[in-house]
Amino acid sequence: MEAKGYLQEVGAQVSADFVKNRSILSFEEYLSLFFTDPKGQSRNAAQYLRDVMDHYGTELVPHPTGTIRRFKVFDVPSAEHDGRVAGQEEVQNALYRILGNFVRAGRINKLIMLHGPNGSAKSSLVNALKQGMEDYSRQAQGALYRIAWVFPSEKLIKGSIGFGERAGAKSAEDDLTTYAHLDAEALDLRMPCELRDHPLFAVPPAERKGLLEGALKKKGLGNGDGATGDFLLSDYVREGELCAKCRRIYTALLNAYGGDYLKVLRHVQVERFYVSRRYQVGTVTVEPQMSVDAAAQQISADRTQLNMPAALHSTVLFEPHGPLVHANRGLIEYADLLKRPLEAFKYLLGFSETGEVPLEPFVLQLDEVLIASSNEKHLGAFKELPDFASFKGRIELVRVPYLRRYKVEQEIYDAQITATSVGKHVAPHATEVAAMWAVLTRLKKPIPDRYPAHVKPLVDQVAPVEKLHLYQEAGVPARLSSANTKELLKLREEMYEESDAYPNYEGRSGASAREIKTALFNAAQNPDYKCLHALAVLEELHALCKDKSVYEFLLQEVMDGYHDHETFVRVVEGEYLDRVDSEVRDSMGLVSEGQYRELVERYIQSVSHWVRGEKMRNRVTGEMEKPDEARMAEVEAIVMPQGEAPADFRRGLIASIGAHRLDNPDGAMDYPRIFPDMFKRLRDHYFEERKRVLRKNKENVLKYLSEDRNQLSAREQSQVQDTLKTMAERYGYCEFCAKDAILFLMRQRYT
């Protein structure tokens, strides 16, 4: 393609998009747009941000408290963040609730303070909202408009520059209803509004009220008071006024035209704008700094400034600037707000409540959601200051703790620790062991005294790794009886929320995701492994535990196994060995999952008839017989917890099936999901009996991956090849990480 043809094609597309997006409108055209969508064009910043969250939708996700709503805006990848914001659904719902309060109040009257330990995703949550705003502002339903002023040139209007003509004189401008669409050559000056004033502010407040209510009623939305419809007009849109600069231009034009309002509107150009983090349009992040976040500079001084229209020569205009101005009609984030001196943000006391900031020449009227972040140490110190009492009523505190479910934590590392980012293959479980260790460092010992007397001993005996699995998949220790298993599952939600009211809550301390990512990148440089291997990660975690001068959480006192971070490395190593052992066994195909399932289904069928006192048909003879006690006892000897009575165990199984059926009335009976411990005990029992065969097979794999491959028969080589193929396809192993994993497994469990 030739350059000229290419540029013509691109130019045509840009022009078409410009027209399609209705980027430049006259005030009359904007008013027509407003009448078609009065609700969309009458939103303040809080309503807009809440609509951003609604736009992407929600879903229900599993949670230790049952299920919880997750907002999909936090799943949208961006150029600077490849993955989703992992977890933090409680924070998402808190933000949505606060925005709803702003909407119902009709004004943004508080600052949202996200607080939590360093690296707990406070900035990631806000960045996701900003990314959502950027994308939504490019959609038709998210269109945002601002006001600008345009002045035609003397060439267009002989003897006049758009206003102040002699009475009775007629000029070319009389044929124009708007100057908004004039070419650049036909304009002497265009003055945009730095505050991005809402176009409706060109309508005087008294008339605007009737305009808004009439348009909303016509669309069946009531009159905007929230009582007669589902939409509530904000104070900003209902009563807001033009900024100081726009007001002075408006007044000067009105005087020049002798009060002719329609002639003033000819100078109004309505421009669509898009939220942009890079260019600080509608969203800004303010880092800790000493200065106030807004200022003004004079752009006109006297009549000698010939580039200004004549009617403005005697008008002093000031142009505001700064983060508060750039973020107007959107969101401003104060990163680490409390690291700034108190005097530098005292103005937030008034601003968060009134939406106004006084500057020397005028008062800024702003419409923006204020979100700040702080770590717990700075917030604790702030609460000790006398001024905190004044701030307390103007701040909404939202806690952002570390994650406490390791699979959710793993999502963070899986998104960022890839073959591309580390320059080598990422072996199975490398990020998982890191996530498990990180979550273990954050868990606190349950407080038995908070629970009823009959479950105190049960709560007191929950080990850190047991609590880890209880939070993640409602896993319970195999050592428990059926009755205690049910009790512990009932306590799951209460245990998860146990310390929420405490200053030293669970998730406040421990390893941060940033520290774990550093450990993973360091492990990737280990020369002993060709992949980023889980074993290299374990070595790095061992080394991290020795650096107590750097990591404060390592100084915590060990309490009944909790906060014992060096032991946690060995605990995670044991979890890793369990996974590798299971995957290698499965890849060898000695027993299929279907065989376990069939055994359990036949056992459950027998138990079901036994509980109901019914006979069942013998598969061989076809006769109706009592359930086979000997066969049930044979299975129970493997799967039943020690000390459990068979009758209680059987009734407990049927009760669990009934509970599952109530929760999933249309779903099939997924026995591995209902009884994971039963399937694990069956697998372990079978493989314990076949340990010698397993050891031999694993040795063959190691020989095949070494120089001793020729010592294996053709049949043995074929078996090994099938095993490695399954490990690669099903679990993601390559030959190098498979060899390292099996060698480690053999050394730890099969010698």
DSSP 172-190: GGGG-S-STT--GGGEEEE
Q: Please count the other Cβ atoms lying within 10 Å of the Cβ belonging to residue 270.
A: 26
For residue 293, tell me if it sits in a domain: no
The range of the structural domain enclosing residue 509 comes to 406-564
pLDDT band at 20 (very low <50, low <70, confident <90, very high): low
Let me know whether 541 and 632 are in one domain: no
Q: Answer yes or no: are the C-beta atoms of 631 and 606 closer than 8 Å.
A: yes
pLDDT band at 358 (very low <50, low <70, confident <90, very high): confident
Let me know whether 546 and 597 are in one domain: no
Let me know whether 411 and 492 are in one domain: yes
CA-CA distances (angstroms) from residue 48 to 115, 236, 341, 551?
24, 13, 32, 41
- What is the distance between the alpha carbons of residues 252 and 239, in angstroms, rounded to a whole number? 22
- The pLDDT value given to residue 697: 79
For residue 738, tell me if it sits in a domain: no
Q: Please count the other Cβ atoms lying within 10 Å of the Cβ belonging to residue 154.
A: 13
Let me know whether 554 and 599 are in one domain: no
pLDDT band at 303 (very low <50, low <70, confident <90, very high): very low
Let me know whether 530 and 670 are in one domain: no
Nearest one of 324, 337, 394 to 365, comparing CA atoms: 324
φ, ψ (nearest 5 deg) of residue 189 = -155, 140
For residue 361, tell me if it sits in a domain: no
SS3 sequence, 36-65?
HCCCHHHCCHHHHHHHHHHHHCEEEEEECC
* DSSP three-state, residue 276: strand
* DSSP three-state, residue 398: strand
601 vs 404, residue with greater confidence: 404
Let me know whether 425 and 533 are in one domain: yes
For residue 489, tell me if it sits in a domain: yes
- What is the distance between the alpha carbons of residues 745 and 676, in angstroms, rounded to a whole number? 23
Let me know whether 552 and 617 are in one domain: no
Overall domain count for the chain: 2
- What is the distance between the alpha carbons of residues 737 and 425, in angstroms, rounded to a whole number? 9
pLDDT at 42 over 50: yes
The two tokens of residue 608 are 């079901």
pLDDT 10s digits, 684-711: 777 676 667 777 877 888 888 888 888 8
Q: Please give the torsion angle defined by the CA atoms of residues 279, 283, 288 and 290, in that order, rounded to the nearest 10 degrees.
A: 80
- What is the distance between the alpha carbons of residues 388 and 383, in angstroms, rounded to a whole number? 5
Q: Quick one: average pLDDT of 21-29?
A: 84
φ, ψ (nearest 5 deg) of residue 298 = -80, 135
Nearest one of 428, 335, 418 to 82, comparing CA atoms: 418
pLDDT at 170 over 50: no
pLDDT at 310 over 90: no
- What is the distance between the alpha carbons of residues 128 and 36, in angstroms, rounded to a whole number? 30
Let me know whether 557 and 418 are in one domain: yes
The two tokens of residue 569 are 């490395």
Q: How far apart are the first and last CA of the chain?
A: 68
Let me know whether 507 and 608 are in one domain: no
pLDDT at 90 over 90: yes
Q: Please give the torsion angle defined by the CA atoms of residues 534, 539, 543 and 544, in that order, rounded to the nearest 10 degrees.
A: 10
pLDDT band at 627 (very low <50, low <70, confident <90, very high): confident
For residue 94, tell me if it sits in a domain: no
pLDDT band at 22 (very low <50, low <70, confident <90, very high): low
pLDDT 10s digits, 214-255: 898 888 888 777 766 678 889 999 889 999 899 999 998 998
The DSSP bridge partners found for residue 281 are 276
- What is the distance between the alpha carbons of residues 522 and 514, in angstroms, rounded to a whole number? 12
Which stretch of DSSP H or E encloses residue 272? strand 268-273
pLDDT 10s digits, 706-717: 888 888 888 888
For residue 134, tell me if it sits in a domain: no
For residue 6, tell me if it sits in a domain: no
The amino acid that residue 317 corresponds to is: L
pLDDT 10s digits, 241-290: 999 899 999 998 998 888 899 999 999 999 999 999 888 899 999 888 65
For residue 553, tell me if it sits in a domain: yes
The amino acid that residue 529 corresponds to is: Y
